[in-house]
Structure formats: C-alpha cells, structure tokens
Amino acid sequence: MRRGKRRNLLTLVLGMSVLLTACGTDSGGSNVTSTAGAAPGNSGNTEEKIQIKYWYAYGEKIEEAKQELVKRFNESQDRIEVVAEYQGNYDDLHAKVQAAFAANNAPAVSDLEISSTGTFARYGMITDLTALAEQDKEKLQIDDFNPGLMGNAYVDGKLYGLPFMRSTPIMYMNVSLLEEAGLDPAGPKTWDEFEEYGKVLKSKGKTAMTMPTDIWFYEGLVAQSGGQVLADDGKSALFNSPEGVAPVEFWKKLAGEGIIKIPVGDEAGATAEKDWANQTSAFRFGSTAGVAGAIEISQGNNFKFNTAFMPANKSYGVPTGGCQLVITSKLSEAETAAAWEFLTFMTTAESTTYQSKHTGYLPTRISALESEELQSLYKEYPQYKVAVDQLAYARPRPMETAYPEVAKIVKNAIEKTLLDPKISAQDAMNEANEKANALLSK
C-alpha cells in the first residue's frame, strides 16, 4: 500500500553517507539478539536461539495481519524469534531504518515501499538476495510470484526484495449515491464519463470525488494517457509532455467546475477517506489495501459499496504500490540466514492468502490467486478482485535514487496550478520538469 506524504529520502541518505562509511561493514550491533534456546543442531549440541527485529509500517488491519503472520512464524519453529515493531507510515519507517543503519542498529528485516528499493540498494543498506533465491529456488518458486509485481523487486538486475503487501490504486464507489442520482451503478469507465457523472452528482448536492494530489494517482493518469513519467533510462523527466500535462489539466478543469474537491496538506488523504465514508463524495481513489476496511465502513454506514478500475483516458493504466520485505546489510551469515527464512515464510502462498483476505492487498503468488479459498472470496466479495484484474494494465514505479525528491517537486507543481487559476498546467509542469531533470541527471 502506498500512503502518506513521502519525505525527502535522498537528502537524508546523502546526509548520512559519511556515517555509513565510518560504520563500514562490521556485523556487530544490536539488530539481532541471541537467547538461550533448545533447538538441537546436527551434532546434538544445543544452539542459541536467534532473535531478529522486523520493522513494519501501518496499523489497524494491516498491522493485525503482520503481527499474526509473525506469530505464526515464531510458532512454526524454535530456532528463530522475530520481534515485530511498528514504525509509523512508510516515510517514518524509512527514516528510522536509515538512522538505525547509520548507528549500526538497524532491524534485520524491514518493510520497504517499492519505489525506494533503488535508493536503499544502491547505498548498500539492503542485502542482495539473488544468491539466496538461487540456493533455495525449489522452495522459493520465484516464478510463482505474479510477474506484474516483480518489476520493483530488482535493482540493476539483482533481486533485493520479495513482494509482500502489494497494491494498486483502485476506485472506491458509493453505489447507493449513484443509484439515488439515477446513474449507472457500474460507474464511469473513462475520464469523459467520470466528468458526466460528476455533473449529475453536483446537481444532487454531492461531490464526485475528494482527492489529494498524490503522485501515485498522477502516475496512473499519465499511464492512462499513454505516457510515462520518466524516460526509459531514468535520467530525464517527461512531466511536461502532453501525456504528463493531461492529468493536471483534467483535475484543474474538474476542480474549477466544482466536480471534485482537492484538499492539500498532511491531512488531505484522511479528508478524502472521511468524505467518502460520510457519503459526501461518491468516489475516491485508494489502495486496494483498504477494501476490507471499506466493506466494514459501508456496512456500518448502511450504503452499497463497490470497486472499479481507475477510469481510462486513451487506455487503462495504474502503477503498482505497497511494500516488499528486505534484509538489511551488515548482518552475520547466521543472522542473514534467519532473516531469509522469515522472508520466505512471510511470502508463501498460505501467508499471502491470509493477508490478502484480511486487508485487501493483492495476492502476490499465482498459486494463491488460483486457490479455492481466494476464488470463493471473490465470488462473495467481488470488490477484492478488481485490483487483481487491473494488474493487466499495471506498471512498476520509478526507482531512481532522486525520485522521492522529484515526486515532491511534481506534487508541489500540481498543487500550485490547482490553487492558482492564473497558473497553467503546462507552465507548472515545465518548471517541475526542469527541476526534476537537474536531479535526475546527476
């Protein structure tokens, strides 16, 4: 899942680069604790039980699923104990992992939002998993992971993460509001249809959508327009291309007509969720990770709820999102082995089936998707399956080291043109593109 405002990851990494050099590659520190255990070794001697830390992001149903999976792992064997610790949203988690790494006290395992994988890998903070995956290829069955979710697992041809709680943005719909307005409850399939729906809803005193200026959603609308946000080599931006400008022009038009509401600031995402839950907005864009919670909200507030693809422009298109599990570097061989065993457990078909049902995150394995358990769930609650079907139009997120800062520049440019009628979308994106290129070309 991808939520929250992304911090300047690049600046923080660069700012601590001297500390990283000073730390070297010593495997000491307190990221792992050994405790007395009774697991017998091959020779019959007792071994120390290895305790490792796992840092994760997000609470509520997402936290419940992660804690349950950790509990299952700990109960499945007696050689390794994983201590799971909540660290806030992805921004909070990333910053804490970086600071702990510089202090030689990083967790052995961490969630890592997919677009940040390149930065962490290239600065040596996470372990190359390629050899481990090859060594355990029969057990891991990497070809069973959904190919549409593997794009961000690799950096420069090497494997650095295993897909864990993965998502795409989808459209949440209040079907009751649509029916009351005399609209087709199937929802709009295109940008033009969305605008028409919005005009009707406005006439009924409702807002079509409350939407934060989220870079994730922008990436999706660029894809729907037939474009991409960065050039293939990642060294230049395409925000000021016709495809890059089209989403901003569309949002500016709809906001100007009072069809959509675009809040700004740290609470923008929470405002969008609240307006949808309170039935003042008929639609919202959000991660598939929220499906289980949305079902509960709709039942509690007595309205019908469904999900749909994000509407198409020239075509459908969405970025993937969410996190993968990574192993930090500077661990001993035994600690890395323990962390790897934990990763493989957390990403089995059984584990992904559980967490997908509990939250709404995508099943990362094909075998889980095809299982009777999930197929039965989709029949009872088709809202879960929309994101799976939408994967056919998904693409990985950019992983250039400068992209977190670039994303901040683009978001500010979008907000600038939406808040000031005198600033054109083209001018704002021209300026953003120039600033982005200065960072990407370094």
pLDDT digits (tens, 9 = 90+) for 120-136: 999 999 999 999 999 99
Q: Would you say 406 and 234 are in contact if contact means Cβ atoms under 8 Å apart?
A: no
Amino acid at residue number 212: P
The DSSP letter of residue 78 is S
What mean pLDDT is predicted for residues 298-320? 97
Q: Would you say 230 and 400 are in contact if contact means Cβ atoms under 8 Å apart?
A: yes
Where are any strands of DSSP class E within 207-320?
Answer: 207-210, 260-261, 281-287, 305-308, 318-319
Q: Would you say 297 and 277 are in contact if contact means Cβ atoms under 8 Å apart?
A: yes
Residue 205 in domain:
yes
Residue 416 and residue 280 share a domain: yes
Read out DSSP for 168-214? -EEEEEEHHHHHHTT--TT---BHHHHHHHHHHHHHTT-EEEE----
Q: Would you say 304 and 282 are in contact if contact means Cβ atoms under 8 Å apart?
A: no
CA distance 239 to 378: 37
Higher pLDDT, 413 or 35: 413
What mean pLDDT is predicted for residues 204-216? 95
Residue 270 in domain:
yes
Angle at 172 between CA 166 and CA 174, to 5 degrees: 155
pLDDT greater than 70 at residue 366: yes
Residue of 40, 28, 135 whose CA lies nearest to 79: 40
Residue 28 and residue 52 share a domain: yes
Residue 3 in domain:
no
CA distance 239 to 440: 13
Name the band, by pLDDT with cuts 50, 70 and 90, for residue 4: very low
- How far from 255 is each of 137, 249, 250, 252, CA to CA, in Å? 51, 10, 9, 5
Q: In 3-state terms, the chain is what percent helix, strand and coil (to 5)?
A: 50, 20, 30
Residue 84 and residue 22 share a domain: yes
Residue of 81, 128, 123 whose CA lies nearest to 98: 123
Name the band, by pLDDT with cuts 50, 70 and 90, for residue 48: confident
pLDDT at 265: 85
Residue 4 in domain:
no
Question: How, if at all, do strands 281-287 and 109-113 pair?
Answer: unpaired
What mean pLDDT is predicted for residues 392-421? 94
Task: Give the total number of structural domains in the chain.
Answer: 2
Residue of 310, 324, 305 whose CA lies nearest to 146: 324
Residue 163 and residue 25 share a domain: yes
> What does the pLDDT look like over 171-192, one tens digit per residue?
999 999 999 999 999 999 999 9
Q: Can you say how many angstroms the Cα of residue 72 is from the centroid of all Cα atoms in its chain? A: 24
Residue 122 in domain:
yes
pLDDT greater than 50 at residue 88: yes
Q: Would you say 116 and 9 are in contact if contact means Cβ atoms under 8 Å apart?
A: yes
Residue 298 and residue 211 share a domain: yes
> What does the pLDDT look like over 416-439, one tens digit per residue?
999 999 999 999 999 999 999 999
Q: Would you say 326 and 127 are in contact if contact means Cβ atoms under 8 Å apart?
A: yes
CA distance 162 to 172: 28
pLDDT at 28: 37
**Domain containing 274 — which CATH number?**
3.40.190.10
Residue 154 and residue 19 share a domain: yes
CA distance 346 to 367: 15
Residue 178 and residue 49 share a domain: no
Residue 1 in domain:
no
Residue 2 in domain:
no
Residue 236 and residue 143 share a domain: no
Range of the structural domain that residue 59 is part of: 9-167+321-395
Chain length of the chain: 442
Q: What's the whole-model pTM score? A: 0.85
Residue 258 and residue 215 share a domain: yes
Residue of 181, 185, 119 whose CA lies nearest to 156: 119
CA distance 431 to 239: 9
Residue 153 and residue 60 share a domain: yes
Residue of 396, 400, 397 whose CA lies nearest to 146: 396
Contacts with 270 (C-beta within 8 Å, 6 or more apart), sequence order: none
Read out DSSP for 243-264? HHHHHHHHHHHHHHTTSEE---
Looking up tokens 């082995």 gives: 337
Residue 369 and residue 430 share a domain: no
Residue 20 in domain:
yes
Residue 415 and residue 276 share a domain: yes
pLDDT at 288: 94
